[in-house]
Structure 1
Amino acid sequence: MTHSAEKLTLENLAKWSKEYEGDKVGQLAGSVFQHGNIDELLINRKREIADSQIFNTKIDPEGLPVTDQKASGRCWLFASTNLLRLRLMKKYNMKECRLSPSYLFFYDKLEKSNFFLEQIIDTYKEDVNSRIVQWFLTDPISDGGQFTMMTQIVDKYGLVPNDVYPDSFNTTLSRVMDRLLTAKLREFAQILREKLVKGESIVSTKLQMQHDIFRLLCIFLGEPPKPTDEFTWEYYDKDSKFHSIKTTPVKFVSEHIDFQTPQYISLLNDPRNPYRRVVQIERLGNVIGGDTVSYLNMDIDVLAQAVVNRIKNNKAVFFGTDTPKFMDKKRGIMDIDLWDYKLIGYDQRSMDKASRVVYHNSLMTHAMLITAIHLDDEGKPVRYRVENSWSSKSGTDGYYVMTHDYFKEYVYQVVVEKDDIPKYVDLLEDKSPVVLPPYDPMGSLASN
């Protein structure tokens, strides 16, 4: 069956205009919405009231203070450090605690630069206009990342409290730094490709490139402690008692946070691909020689139950979602039906989850923490309490309520420990994982 292209005619416009003149609902909507914010005027008051910030199952303590990633794409590092600080707060009886996303940010940028250059080297025989090469050139050193990529940095470099390596201007507003580093890495990519085509050695050239990137990062962000440098961690506990501990970034993780990275699993809900299978993202990572970014793809009900299990065991949950879709920042609500779009003939539910991913209408864009749930009489989740990293001025003092319906439709990933899902651990031994290309939407959190 063939289709001949048709022009939009003036007759079409005249007909549609006549129909709109008789569309009383459309006329009324236009009269209102042309003078105000559509998303504010279409708020469903019943949903607004129902989306309560009351939860019957909650972790204790919740993390304080509420954090702020500011104008950077570091959500995955904030969600990760907000998760890890809870271990310290419980262990050392602390009221507040902040770990340093900026420390991880520095070493992630350094490792991503090396990872990018290695991908350029590995693909030098590909045409520069090929999709894979162009993908790497598009955003070689993005702020985004995945939970697995965080563990690679923590395993290699450790972690420090925020006071030891606090934010600099360029961690909070990373746009200019990223632009300059990206331009430099693209320049390096051209040099490496041309040398390789000529059969020349690139060993010393690449090492100098990495040195140059390290120097620029030090200029932009400030030089961080090295993994084995000793520092002093000073803090007050809940009883205002002063404590001082000497440690190193690596020992801080192993001896004080006690973060065992092999125990953590990323559960995925990607309805395009078969469930109960391992899904991997090809060429997605930051540390050369590190683990492949992998997920265990499961039905959404498995992800929800894993969240319930963790919260009941007083453990928060790192999760990845499509944000800020159907999120009201003022009210602190994540609810698909918070807006009455159907009143103007717009159906926000016309596509299913798989179709939204395939047709670029949804993807994983933001990482946050779940710290509480509200369960019905049968123990099923109704709504979730979400700790964001957009400051206490966002949402309700930095927190949001997310409906279970939203969870099912727009949550793609939750990170749990093996003990949370014992009957599914054997599935991780999948010898024929589903391998997705680096530009697949399931890797998009690392591209923000």
Structure 2
Amino acid sequence: MTHTVKRIALENLAEWSKEYQDDKVGQLAGSVFQHGNIDELLINRKHEIADKQIFNTKIEPEGAPVTDQKSSGRCWLFASTNLLRLRLMNKYNLKECRLSPSYLFFYDKLEKSNFFLEQIIDTAKEDVNSRLVQWFLSDPISDGGQFTMMTQIVDKYGLVPNDIYPDSFNTTLSRVMDRLITSKLREYAQVLREKIAKGESIDGEKLRMQHSIYRLLCIFLGEPPKPDDEFVWEYYDKENKFHSLQTTPKKFVTENIDFQTPEYVSLLNDPRNSYNRVVKIDRLGNVTGGQTVSYLNMDIDVLSQAVVNRIKNNQAVFFGTDTPKFMDKKRGIMDVDLWDYKLIGYDQRSVDKASRVIYHNSLMTHAMLITAVHLDENGKPVRYRVENSWSSKSGSEGYYVMTQDYFKEYVYQVVVEKKDIPEYVSLLEDKEPVVLPPYDPMGALAMN
């Protein structure tokens, strides 16, 4: 195929201008939209009314209070701790409960730093300008992460209530801290690569680097308990009775939350790749020697049915989506057809899900929790109740309604337990998984 490069011709402008002047619908739209918010003016009232916060299948209790990740990319940690706190609320008869995303945040940053240095060492013979090395250098300790990465931290370090290790300023506004540590890690990458090129030992140097990062994290975030340090958790139950529990971060998980990480499975809907296959993201992880991020790629109907099964069993669902696409933060609605864009000749459904991923028009960017589903007379999901981590001022007091159509188009991942999908567990033994590069869109949640 040959193509002659052409510039925009001025005569085309004259022709397009005349057509626009004769376009009465376009003129009316321009008169309205040039003086107001397009997304407000194009709200489809029919959908606004239909997308209501009423559900016939809910978990009890829902988590409380509504949480706020503030100016940080910790959504995956909030969705995870909001999921795990439900076990404590049921076990100890709590009205409210908050686990500490900051505790996981500290040790995730520490582990990601080490993971990055190990990847730099492992790729030392690669050209520094290779796509792989440049990808590692681009964002060594992103705030983002995946459910698998959360389980790696919890298994190694445990977890604590929020009162034991609450937010510091830099957990809620992490940009400056991330910039400073990222800059230091890039310096370390240069040192390691140059020493390896000269054939020099790097073990002592790398240990000093790890120590330096730990010190910086303590300065920025405050020193957290170590995994086997004892702490005392004091709390009130629903009857306002005082209780006290002495434990350690690791025992807190094993003895009180009973979180069995091997039982959890991340289901993926990636229509670019074959279904009923394991999909792994190469070199994407946080704990060196631990698992890399992996999923079981399934048809979207399998994901939605797994969510229904789990909600029916009174269990919330961690999920990953492309947010805030087609999300109205004021109304608390996630609905592809909430806006009548077609009225101005704009078709938001012109390409399919696979094409949107391939052409960088969609990717997994945010993690939240599903706590309810509304089923039709045939038991099929119509809409879902979503617990976000953007404070009670966002959505409907912190919650959103997500339509089934939105789920199909923009949800990429749901996390369930093996008992929720017994007919598919054998697929996890896939001996030849699909392996995607670390910069693939299916790893994007870990890089936000």
Into which bin does the TM-score normalised by the smaller protein fall? over 0.9
Give me the TM-score of the superposition, normalised by structure 2.
1.00
Q: Where do residues 109-258 of structure 1 align in structure 2 (5 Å cutoff)?
A: 109-258=109-258
Cα separation, 1, equivalents of 2:18 and 2:366: 44
CA distance in 2, matches of 1:168, 1:100: 11
Q: For 1:133 and 1:207, locate their aligned partners in 2 and report how far apart those are by CA, in whole Å.
A: 21
- 2-structure distance, mates of 1:320, 1:273: 18
CA distance in 2, matches of 1:96, 1:168: 21
How do residues 263-412 of structure 1 correspond to structure 2 at under 5 angstroms? Answer: 263-412=263-412
1:173-203 residue CA offsets vs partner (Å, 9 max, x unmatched): 0000000011000010011011100111000
User: 1:6 Cα deviation (Å)?
Assistant: 0.8
- What stretches of structure 2 of length at least 5 have no aligned partner? none
Give the aligned residue type for 2:282. Answer: E
- TM-score when normalising by structure 1: 1.00
Structure 1 residue 37 and structure 2 residue 46: aligned? no
Count how many residue pairs are aligned between Structure 1 and Structure 2. Answer: 448
Match of 2:67 in 1: 67
Q: One-letter code of the match for 2:92?
A: Y
* CA distance in structure 1 between the partners assigned to 2:306 and 2:163 by the alignment: 34
Matched residues in 1 for 2:219 and 2:344: separation? 52
Q: Name the CA distance, whole Å, in 2 between partners of 1:428 and 1:386.
A: 28
Aligned to 1:184, the other structure's residue is in SS state helix
Deviation at 1:241, TM superposition (A): 0.8
What is the Cα deviation at residue 291 of structure 1?
Answer: 1.2
User: Which moved further from structure 2: 12-21 or 105-114?
Assistant: 12-21
Q: What's the offset of the Cα at 1:209?
A: 0.5
SS at match of 1:394: coil
Cα deviation, 1:89-109, whole Å, max 9, x if unaligned, reads: 001110000000000000000
- Counterpart Cα distance in 2 of 1:315 and 1:90: 11
Query: Following the alignment from structure 2 to structure 1, what is the Cα–Cα distance between the partners of residues 44 and 360?
Result: 27
How many Å apart are 1:293 and its aligned residue?
A: 1.1
Matches of 1:31 and 1:201 in 2, distance apart? 69
Q: Tell me the distance in 2 between the aligned counterparts of 1:72 and 1:78.
A: 11
Aligned partner letter, 1:412: Y
List gaps (5 residues or longer) in structure 1.
Answer: none
Structure 1 residue 152, shift from structure 2 partner: 0.1
**SS, match of residue 390 in structure 1:** coil
Q: Residue deviations 1:219-265, cap 9 Å, x none?
A: 00000000000000111111111100000000000000000000000
Write out the 4+ residue segments of structure 1 that deviate beyond 2 Å after TM superposition.
none
Letter in 1 for 2:93: N
- In structure 1, give the amino acid aligned to 2:321: T
Paired amino acid for 1:271: P
Q: After the TM superposition, which residues 89-108 of structure 1 pair with which residues of structure 2 at under 5 Å, given as runs?
A: 89-108=89-108
Q: Percent identity, aligned pairs only?
A: 85
Secondary structure of the residue aligned to 2:371 is strand
Rounded to whole Å, the distance in 1 between the matches of 2:351 and 2:227 is 48
> Displacement, 1:292?
2.0
Q: Secondary structure at the match of 2:25?
A: helix
SS at match of 2:350: coil
Q: Give 1:4 shift.
A: 1.1
